[in-house]
Amino acid sequence: MKRISLFFCALCAITTAASAKTLVAYYSYTGDCEAIVNELCKQITADVVRIEPAEKGLKYEANNYALGTQLLNTIKANPDKASSYPAIDPVNLYPADYSTVIIVTPLWWSQMAAIMQSYLFQVGSELAGKKLGLIVSSASSGISGVVADCKRLVPDADYCPENLWIHNSNRSSTSALIAGWITANQLNQTQTTSMQINVIVGGTTFPATLADNETARAFARLLPLTLQMTELNGNEKYHYLDSSLPTGTYRPGTIQAGDLMLYGSDCIVLFYKTFSSTYSYTRIGAVNNPSSLAQALGSGNVSVRFEAVSTATELLSSPLQAQQQGQLVFHDGQIFVTHNGQTYTLTGAAKQ
């Protein structure tokens, strides 16, 4: 009976943690929305998908905004017709896999940018019942038209009570505005379990925490993993994997010592110094205390082992928490739960 209870509690908690995920979907024409997303990702953990038009190099503002206006008018004339919306590139992250979705979009002439409207037209049904946050960037125009477009395209979402409007007069306060918006909408209240891993260099073990995103989860499924990492630029070690991982790139601006990142889709990068960077990465996680990481890694190529172990205290149900603490071990794509001296997979079968 204990075996069944442990399995059930762990499975329910893992399911809850897996569903309590955030997706940020954005379109950026001038770079303003990209800057907003970069700041947002410093304050919350989320997967990121950038929406891009299928036809590149178009100047929507040329000839007194002729093309941009034409796209918006075509949508307005037949908003229920798929052909009214400009084509966009396929995306590899889907709202159906998330509990919270944040839309970051520019305003075009008091309306939502046509490119973002295309995305919401395609995924609107997937957003039904999802918690939906809206951040709008404009020069000075109010955002009521964008809010109306969003609710037309996604009528059944659970909208956050407050939208965020960032414009030229308050753009210098973007960080503080985002922090206040996150708090007002309780977007920082979701309880998720951080997966702990060990980064082992020589005889030194550095505890680290993985991000709550698809990239980190895919990386965890590869563990345990020993990588021969190459020195670069006096601040990082890198290794190219044999296969690709999911990506959700952003520009962190400042790389912190201990950051574990994915460059492109297959290059694992472990940074051991703090510095400014204009490159884009996908976050995997970070070493908890990197104070002696540089010394351990040294100045040349080095072998680094990654092992994944996460305590199950947060994952187990409250009554079971009060009785004991368990341990989750992630190995070969399976999850094992240790309880009273025995280890169980999530099938409930005991492993001696």
Q: CATH code at 258? A: 2.40.100.20
Together in a domain, 174 and 141: yes
What amino acid is encoded at 52 in this protein? Answer: E
Q: For residue 261, what are its two tokens?
A: 């990142």
Question: In a 3-state reduction of DSSP, which class is residue 257?
Answer: coil
In a domain, 336, yes or no: no
Together in a domain, 207 and 72: no
How many domains is the chain partitioned into structurally? 2
In a domain, 320, yes or no: no
Together in a domain, 35 and 179: yes
Q: Helices 114-123 and 62-77 meet at what angle, rounded to 10?
A: 30
In a domain, 322, yes or no: no
Together in a domain, 240 and 173: no
In a domain, 347, yes or no: no
In a domain, 8, yes or no: no
Q: CATH code at 83? A: 3.40.50.360
Domain end call among 289, 310, 331 = 310
The tens place of each residue's pLDDT in the chain, 352 residues long, gives 334 343 434 444 343 344 358 999 999 999 999 999 999 998 998 889 999 999 999 999 888 888 999 999 999 999 999 999 999 998 877 787 788 999 999 999 999 999 999 999 999 988 988 999 999 999 998 999 999 999 999 999 999 999 999 999 999 999 999 999 999 998 875 444 568 899 999 999 999 988 877 888 899 999 999 999 999 999 999 999 999 999 877 777 789 999 999 999 999 999 999 999 889 888 899 999 999 999 999 999 999 999 987 544 333 333 333 333 444 544 444 455 554 444 444 443 333 3
Together in a domain, 140 and 240: no
pLDDT given for residue 213 in this prediction: 78
Together in a domain, 25 and 107: yes
Q: How far is CA 322 from CA 310, 314, 319, in A?
A: 18, 11, 5
CA-nearest of 19, 45, 21, 49 to 248 is 49
Together in a domain, 247 and 128: no
Q: For residue 40, what are its two tokens?
A: 């947002």
Together in a domain, 203 and 180: no
Task: Write the burial class of residue 347 (CB in 10 Å: 0-12 exposed, 13-18 middle, 19+ buried).
Answer: exposed
Q: For residue 149, what are its two tokens?
A: 């477009």
Q: Give CA angle at 92 (86, 93), nearest 5°.
A: 100
Task: Write the burial class of residue 251 (CB in 10 Å: 0-12 exposed, 13-18 middle, 19+ buried).
Answer: middle
Q: Which domain holds residue 152?
A: 21-184
Together in a domain, 174 and 240: no
d(C-alpha 318, C-alpha 265), whole Å? 39
In a domain, 292, yes or no: yes
Together in a domain, 163 and 217: no
Together in a domain, 301 and 217: yes
Contact (Cβ atoms closer than 8 angstroms) between residue 269 and residue 263: yes
Together in a domain, 176 and 253: no
In a domain, 13, yes or no: no
In a domain, 333, yes or no: no
Domain end call among 139, 163, 184 = 184
Domain end call among 128, 154, 184 = 184
Task: Write the burial class of residue 334 (CB in 10 Å: 0-12 exposed, 13-18 middle, 19+ buried).
Answer: exposed
| Per-residue pLDDT tens over the stretch 202-217 | 999 999 988 877 888 8
d(C-alpha 75, C-alpha 339), whole Å? 58
pLDDT given for residue 314 in this prediction: 37
